[in-house]
A and B are shown apart, each in its own frame.
Chain A
Amino acid sequence: MLSKSQARTFFLGGTVVTFLIFIGLTIYSMAPSNDQSNHQNITEQVIKGKHIWETNNCMGCHAIMGEGGYYAPELTKVIDRRGAPLVKAILQSPIPWAPNGRKMVAYEMSDEDAEAMIEYLKWIGEIDLNGFDRIVSPLAKDKLKD
């Protein structure tokens, strides 16, 4: 029968081994040669866009790369689907955008902010998401019905 000290060894051993593998895999996937996000395309504007995305908690309603709220549409390839002018208009609208009754907050963004946001969304739209971006309908444009 298993003894208490064997059980402890199982716990400590398993933890150390899997943790080391985890760190190894993290380093591996962060290596520049394994980049799938076009890291070099992260411009000042994209960074600014990310900042605006965070300080307004857009993720509280929308998802991006499948992460966030489920109240409003997934935004991963939104520029691809809707085009920059419409997205910009939504961001700058003085009244809540609510095409189907569900309201968005009216952010009334400045030109500059709205453009940074669009650059950010464009960058997101080009990331290789291992198929999520090509197979699943709200993201892949050709999969979407009008």
Chain B
Amino acid sequence: MKYKSQQVAYWFFALCMLLFALQIVYGFIMGFARIGMDGLHDWIPFNTARAVHTNLLVVWLLTGFMGAAYYIIPEEAQRELVSVKLAYVQLISLAVVGVAAITGYHFNIWEGRKFLEIPRELDYLVVVNVLLFLGIILATLFKGKWQTTTALVMTMGLVFAALLYLPGMIWFDSQVTDSFFRWWVVHLWVEGVWELIMGGILAFLLIKLTGVDREVIEKWLYVIVGLTFLSGILGTGHHYYYIGVNKIWLVVGGVFSALEPLAFLAMALFAVYMYRKGEKNHPNKIALFWTIGAAIVSFIGAGLLGFAHTLPQTNLYTHGTLVTAMHGHYAFWGAYVMIVLAIISYAMPNITGRKRHDKTNGHLAFWLSNIGMLGMVVALGVAGVVQVYLERRLSMDFMIAQEEVKIHFVVMLLCATMFATGIGIYIYEFIKYGRPTNEALSKKEETVLVS
């Protein structure tokens, strides 16, 4: 770590850990409700648990992206953040808005639009908060010595993510139009601009961890984000097949969304290839695992499992079933959770000065959470396929089919326990060895690889 202001990232990452833990608690509440143990129904009905689970996910990932930006941008631009004080103000207001929204969900205060449940009044506060964040990042970037491609791509992703939040704030009388523009936020985030943020973080980590020449890495970064937008923008059509809009989307969405896996494939090949090409002597093995892991698992979760139900002929039957939930879990995990855990794993030793680079606990956290998540996804996938077959092909009643798939949720909960253990260890390490120190700054202990 070169600049003291990078330490702000620590508190963003700490908020991530807290919200992630809570997200998992609400996941368990839903999992248990699905096997008939819904004792909390009067206080936390399923729709509350669901809104909290998915919104916490989105909020903590965004918090992680912000933390990553506060860590990466000073280093890339080669100057301190323009204001550390404002960064803390931004963090605290973000936490306040987040907590207010989540609390509201327990009192029937929300806007039941999947993934965008935050009530519109709070949306305005979100906008102010994000503007403050972008102000700090943009000012730092453009007052800095360099505007590297890595920093520019990441910042572009953050700016577009903010802009795309706006279509989700408009009220429409028609459910069809409402749904249409809801996807401008949800789809264009995860299959568009968030991939720029992911790509930027990935490029930064690869430059640091492998020592491969920046020019080479950044050239391929352009190719990857080029593929992302080329396929992902028109790929939005895969959500427009069956929501009451023109059939043209069956063709456009089908063709372009079928190309979306290419961007993820490129990302996986890119990471593996750069790793092979680079020097293998960076001590932070844990960060390397998460980084390469993110690139590979995102290809499986988003690319392959997304492709599995993206053609209109398949989607006709899988649309709105547990098959979607299966893909949602692995895609979010591989692409965004893992990349945030990667940058945290990379940044922490540099912020704290404690070189916990290759410890057993770190590896344990990686493997337990990954194997646990894979098990959950397989269980959800089996449940999903059985549901599609029974309910949609054999025309069985919804609840009768649900009874049939109950057993798979028992399996899912077992795997979720393994997953939660892994994440528990990760968080334990974060807390135990976490606090920033000034020695980290003065000692300049950071390993620098040159190629």
Bound-state Cα–Cα, A39 to B46, Å:
32
Tell whether, in the assembled complex, residue A14 and residue B112 are in contact, meaning their CB atoms are under 8 Å apart.
Answer: no
Contact of A137 among B36, B215, B229, B391 (CB under 8 A): B391
Is the beta-carbon distance between B173 and A100 smaller than 8 angstroms? no
Q: Does A93 contact B (CB under 8 A)?
A: no
Chain B residues in 8 Å Cβ range of A144? 395, 397
Contact B173 A50 (CB under 8 A): yes
Contact B248–A105 (Cβ < 8 Å): no
Say if the beta carbon of B439 comes within 8 Å of chain A: no
A129 touching B317, Cβ below 8 Å: no
Q: A4 to B399, Cβ gap below 8 A?
A: no
B403 touches A100 (CB 8 A): yes
Residues of A within 8 A of B241 (CB): 130, 132
Give the shortest distance, in Å, between B157 (CB) and chain A (any CB): 12
B222 in contact with A22 (CB, 8 Å) = no
For residue A31, give the distance in angstroms from its CB to the closest CB of chain B: 9
CA–CA, A11 to B153, complex, Å? 11
B451 at the interface (CB under 8 A from A): no
B1 to chain A, nearest CB (A): 28
A122→B250 CA distance, assembly (Å): 25
User: Nearest 6 CB-CB pairs, A to B?
Assistant: A60-B47, A57-B112, A66-B320, A132-B242, A7-B222, A11-B226
* B-binding residues in A (CB < 8 A): 2-4, 7-8, 10-11, 14-15, 18-19, 21-22, 25-26, 28-30, 34, 36-37, 39, 42, 46-47, 50, 53-61, 63-74, 96, 99-103, 105, 120, 124, 127-132, 135-138, 143-145
In the complex, what's the smallest C-beta–C-beta distance from B28 to chain A, in angstroms?
15
B residues in contact with A135, CB < 8 Å: 316
Binds A, one of B14-22, B289-297, B321-329, B342-350: B321-329
Contact status of A36 and B391, CB under 8 A, knowing A15-B229, A18-B234, A70-B325: no
Which of A71, A74, A101 has the most chain B CB atoms inside 10 A of its CB? A71
B51 near A65: Cβ-Cβ < 8 Å: no
Let me know if A22 and B112 touch, CB within 8 A: no
The verdict on B277 contacting chain A, using a C-beta distance below 8 Å, is no
Are B47 and A57 closer than 8 Å at their CB atoms? yes
For window 222-257 of chain B, which residues contact chain A by CB distance below 8 Å? Answer: 222-223, 225-227, 229-230, 233-234, 236-237, 240-250, 252, 256
- A4 B219 Cβ-Cβ under 8 A: yes
**Chain B 196-232 near chain A by CB (<8 Å), digits 1 or 0:** 0000000000000000000100111011011101100
A127 to chain B: which residues have CB within 8 Å? 176, 244
**In contact, B248 and A69 (Cβ under 8 angstroms):** no
Q: Mind listing 29 A-B residue pairs with CB under 8 Å?
A: A7-B223, A7-B226, A10-B226, A11-B223, A18-B229, A18-B233, A25-B234, A25-B252, A29-B246, A29-B249, A34-B246, A37-B176, A57-B111, A59-B114, A60-B112, A61-B46, A65-B175, A69-B47, A73-B398, A96-B41, A100-B400, A102-B33, A102-B36, A127-B244, A129-B243, A130-B247, A131-B242, A137-B392, A144-B395
Q: Name the residue in A59, A66, A127 with the highest tally of chain B Cβ atoms < 10 Å from its Cβ.
A: A66
A100 partner, pick from B226, B394, B399, beta carbons under 8 A: B399
Q: Which residues of B contact A130 (CB under 8 A)?
A: 241-242, 244, 247, 250
* B84–chain A nearest beta-carbon distance, Å: 33
Please tell me which one of the listed residues A11, A61, A66, A70 contacts residue B243 in the complex, with CB atoms under 8 A apart. A66
